[in-house]
Chain A
């Protein structure tokens, strides 16, 4: 069904572009192998099925004009290709939303996903910057989380009080947990997750995979606390606004099993956390 290679040589005038590509492929490492091909289709090919059926319906006096019978036109789905993530989306906007929510502002050191660049900055500063810890002993370093407020506080508790009193935040605001609470919160979250599993059950598998990756000892040097949502566990939470979008994705598409076992090395981090943090830097890669 495919044109033999001989035909390819008859292409009119090989030019510089093709020469360059040829010499590259001769190097041997080049994985690109596309060549234009004429595709021959035999009588029983599956591509011909619908047309054959249409023809035979006509022969059997069952012809229907197009206006009456509209078959559905399918649209390609999008999928998050980040290893361990099994998100599938029916529209590009949904994908972008997912990516921005979960993978964009990810902390390199602990893989937690933050909802915004600013909160990521603050997280990295407060959790992974030893200089911060030192300075915090002497000055007000804990910034108010509300953009534009500008106030700083000596401890995270002071900040929390400020957030509740002045900015009317709920006392259990997700993005302001202290490090010490993490341990308890983790177990609490795991229970929540079990309950939530029936609802969003396509992502259970990815969580399983993620747990393997994310629970490695090097991830959490500072001990238990979960101020922010864990990159992988985000999907389990049902209170989060984003979960509403996730749920529809989950129920409308069949679960995609991650068939791979590729662990992303700890030195690699997607999202801007890698640029802002003091940890890995984009570009420095083997």
Chain B
């Protein structure tokens, strides 16, 4: 089972100050971002021993080569005590240089596999632990060296021992990202059906489910996954199992649900048409789970790590909406609280995780794009004022909010009048002054729709001094702004300005 290992708990470690840890964390983050840009975002998990509290990376001066060789020698020749030697080997193998020494040594893997499949259960456990340490290596040529072990690891997935199965799973999961060759072999050896029956048979054992889902998520992130892996997964029983694990178990915690949600996200965003997943109820399940999580968050129940589950669920809903025809929307989205929950999530995470807030408003856009009903819901549930208040926030948030408001205005002229009553016009008078061109152009788009909808709106805009804003834009460098403002002024608004005289022009 995975503990949410928080960095701050390591503060008490000798030799590690909080500041050092923050630096390390920031460095790691930078490396991850670069890796993602290179499409090489890969992570491995290391299952710690029972006696280990946390990962102790500060190793003593390299035990290195000699230890490995001597340990291997002992394993080959001593009859008894193999278990102790294996245990020592697994500790040594945490060191990267030792890992490289090991795989270069002739027969080392053969020896290990022999012990993995031998009659001594304790030796098997220690042998898989050695393999697990090797799989965690950051050197990409270490994992392929472990290939001889994989058929056995896969066979053991249906075994009864939790700890053993977990180690097998995480080892396989760590090996997946390292090379195409490894993945090809694993697929040929039947990793997908093995994972499916593992989850099915061990459904009650959430630690194993978590490990299996993690391994699957590693497979699904591969570059060639959409062609080689995902079709196979969709045909298997895995999707329905993943969906069944989504609701977190209150005792065990969020971890298994988190892994399953990320698997679903990788499946959905890599597939153009998700009708199979829709048919299995993916949209309704993800959305109702989001609603209950949104409710918990609003009540102040922000369990640590809950955003790790909210994040992939948002993405699943957002992308599934593009596969769902608008007339079927109601069949899938039975929970009427979805719009309100989404708005609540935006507010809850705006300052702490703005990227999450941004993805939430993306989902709101997809929800309102073609559905008059959801647009109407935003109005009747009084969610629009909250959205308008988000218009100052940049980096993708306010542009998406304007999209949502435009979606609403686009549907009915009554909606435009309502939007005006909620203060959208004065908000637009501010957004028209923003430096971001996209904000100005989208504001003009909304203004056009609202002006055309009703003379009341046009008059109100003129009354608020909007004409001068548009006049300024007529001479702006961007053609899109010039054309729109000129068109609006000439075709629609100038007729109103005759009512305006110098006296009733608004003061600064």
Give the B-binding residues of A (Cβ under 8 A).
3, 7-8, 10-13, 15-18, 20-21, 24, 29-44, 47-68, 70-71, 73-83, 88, 92, 95-96, 99-100, 104, 256, 258-260, 262, 264, 268, 270, 272, 275-276, 282-283
Contacts and interface: CB of A to CB of B under 8 A. Distances in A.
A282 B369 CA distance: 39
Given A70-B351, A71-B353, A21 B449 contact: yes
A92 B398 CA distance: 15
A48 B494 CA distance: 44
A79 B433 contact: yes
Interface stretch (B126-134, B196-204, B280-288, B313-321): B313-321
Given A7-B370, A39-B365, 4 more contacts: A17-B413, A58-B308, A59-B44, A68-B8
Contact of B435 (A21, A24, A77): A77
A60 B439 CA distance: 38
Contacts of A276: 502
Interface residues of B, number: 106
A57 to B, nearest CB: 7
B325 A12 contact: no
Contacts of A66: 302, 307, 349, 352-353
Contact of A57 (B29, B312, B352, B436): B29
Nearest to B473: A81
Contacts of A275: 502
B318 A41 contact: yes
B355 interface: yes
Nearest to A61: B5
Interface of B: 4-8, 25, 28-29, 32-33, 36, 39, 41, 43-46, 54-55, 221, 258, 262, 266, 269-270, 302, 304-305, 307-308, 311-312, 315, 318-319, 321-322, 325-327, 349-356, 358-359, 362, 365-366, 368-373, 391-396, 398, 403, 406-407, 410-413, 416, 430, 433-436, 439-440, 442, 444-446, 448-449, 452-453, 468, 471-473, 475-478, 480-481, 483-484, 487, 494, 497, 502, 508
A47 B484 contact: no
Contacts of A57: 25, 28-29, 32
A73 B6 contact: no
Given A11-B326, A32-B487, A40 B304 contact: no
Nearest to B494: A283
A51 B311 contact: yes
B484 A31 contact: yes
Contact of A36 (B4, B8, B25, B370): B370
A203 to B, nearest CB: 15
Given A11-B326, A32-B487, A53 B308 contact: no
Contact of A73 (B302, B311, B354, B436): B354
Contacts of B476: 81, 83, 260, 262
Given A10-B325, A270-B471, A34 B406 contact: yes
Given A30-B487, A60-B43, A275-B502, A52 B304 contact: no
Contacts of A82: 472, 475
A68 B223 CA distance: 34
B interface SS class: helix
A203 B505 CA distance: 31
A76 B439 contact: yes
The 6 A-B pairs with the shortest beta carbon distances in the complex, nearest first, are A260-B477, A50-B355, A79-B435, A31-B483, A59-B43, A34-B445
A51 B359 contact: yes
A65 B302 CA distance: 10
B25 A62 contact: yes
A75 B396 CA distance: 11
